[in-house]
Amino acid sequence: MQYLPSESRYDSMQYNRCGKWGLKLPAVSLGLWHNFGGVDFFENGRKMLHRAFDLGITHIDLANNYGPPPGSAEENFGKILKQDFSAYRDELIISSKAGYLMWPGPYGEWGCRKYVLASLDQSLKRMGLDYVDIFYSHRPDPNTPLEETMMALDQAVRSGKALYVGISNYPADMTKEASRILKELGTPCLIHQPKYSMFVRWVEDELLDVLEEEGIGCIPFSPLAQGLLTDKYLNGIPEGSRAAKSWGFLQESEVVPAIGKVQKLNELAQQRGQSLAQMALAWVLKDKRITSVLIGASSVQQIDNNVETLKNLDFSEEELILIEKILG
Ligand SMILES: NC(=O)c1ccc[n+]([C@@H]2O[C@H](COP(=O)([O-])OP(=O)(O)OC[C@H]3O[C@@H](n4cnc5c(N)ncnc54)[C@H](OP(=O)(O)O)[C@@H]3O)[C@@H](O)[C@H]2O)c1
């Protein structure tokens, strides 16, 4: 099957500037953490990438360790890129990250320069790319000076292997310091990737203020709490869902206690004429400091459903109060 992208792919997606920078990201971006690995059905991943691009999703997020096995999501993505997207590289923003365990020994994880730069080389090889658009430090390293990790990110850009750099999972104070160091080095921080959803709200305390002050964009991951904030688990744990898979990161024990709130949120979403997934994404996007929501998906239908969020992003004051009450 030869893939020809839809000619209307830029007609309805919304693109937001990343903090104060010129780079724009689609309001909905697609991450390949689950469902694109060696254990998954390759053609399903391929179809999802086609659909995403047809809907204007120009940003695809990866990391060295996505799979399982680690590295296989980048390998599969590399194959799909070569097969279907080689003519469209300049229309895509592809990110990868280094931080979690990739190989044995003292240089296979965290934030030292040796690991970060070797990992980027490996990611580029797996994806068959000359450069990534955004390269992230995936998590802060308590045992490496921040300067060292930031110098590695700066080096990635100077060597032409990345266009921009970002940080992920860094708390507010470290983000401020990382931003200062990166500015000094001459490679300012483009974006932060934190976990943020109706269920996980730590970014609201300080991080979003720091990002605004520093002009850094924000692309929250797991905005659907890995599928909890959808109608998927209302009647138990369906076969094939993330919580049912042995390699899925969503634990069964996280699902059951959340269901009471999910049911109430689902009712409100229905009153708004939206799916719960759409309401959960719109809720994250209501803060203008959010550049894009970084979703995952296991089917083309989920991508369609999530992109339709953009048709109703508004909340009334009453709805917002009710959501706070439900979330307790
Ligand atoms: N920086 C980091 O440390 C970090 C950590 C985690 C993730 N990420 C990034 O963020 C991306 C997204 O994370 P995530 O996959 O946890 O995001 P998510 O959007 O919260 O969860 C995605 C899952 O929700 C379900 N889903 C999505 N849309 C749905 C819909 N419309 N209706 C019903 N169910 C729906 C699917 O579950 P089923 O598979 O069960 O169908 C899907 O796999 C990752 O791919 C990765 O790129 C980054």
At 287 the three-state DSSP class reads coil
Residue whose structure tokens are 């923003």: 93
DSSP type of residue 251: -
Instruction: Judge whether 10 lies within some domain.
Output: no
Q: What atom of ligand 1 comes closest to residue 245's alpha carbon?
A: 40
User: Would you say the CB of residue 136 lies under 6 angstroms from ligand 1?
Assistant: no
Instruction: Judge whether 6 lies within some domain.
Output: no
How many domains does the structure of the chain reveal? 1
User: Which residues constitute the domain of residue 106?
Assistant: 15-327
Q: Which residues contact 91 (CB under 8 A, 6 or more apart)?
A: 53, 58
| Residue of minimum CA distance from atom 13 in ligand 1 | 222
| Residue of minimum CA distance from atom 5 in ligand 1 | 221
Instruction: Judge whether 3 lies within some domain.
Output: no
Q: How confident is the model at residue 2 (pLDDT cuts 50, 70, 90)?
A: confident
Instruction: Judge whether 2 lies within some domain.
Output: no
Instruction: Judge whether 9 lies within some domain.
Output: no
Instruction: Judge whether 75 lies within some domain.
Output: yes
pLDDT at 150 (0 to 100):
98
pLDDT at 240 (0 to 100):
93
pLDDT at 17 (0 to 100):
98
User: Would you say the CB of residue 302 lies under 6 angstroms from ligand 1?
Assistant: yes
- Mean pLDDT, the chain, rounded, equals 97
Find the mean pLDDT for residues 39-57: 98
pLDDT at 305 (0 to 100):
98
User: Would you say the CB of residue 37 lies under 6 angstroms from ligand 1?
Assistant: no
CATH of the domain at 151: 3.20.20.100
CA 211 to chain centre: 17
pLDDT tens for each residue of 124-154: 999 999 999 999 999 999 999 999 999 999 9
pLDDT tens for each residue of 263-317: 999 999 999 999 999 999 999 999 999 999 999 999 999 999 999 999 999 999 9
Find the mean pLDDT for residues 202-226: 98
pLDDT at 163 (0 to 100):
98
Q: Which residues contact 196 (CB under 8 A, 6 or more apart)?
A: 202, 203, 218, 220, 221, 222, 223, 284, 290
At 203 the three-state DSSP class reads helix
Instruction: Judge whether 5 lies within some domain.
Output: no
Q: What atom of ligand 1 comes closest to residue 224's alpha carbon?
A: 20
Instruction: Judge whether 161 lies within some domain.
Output: yes
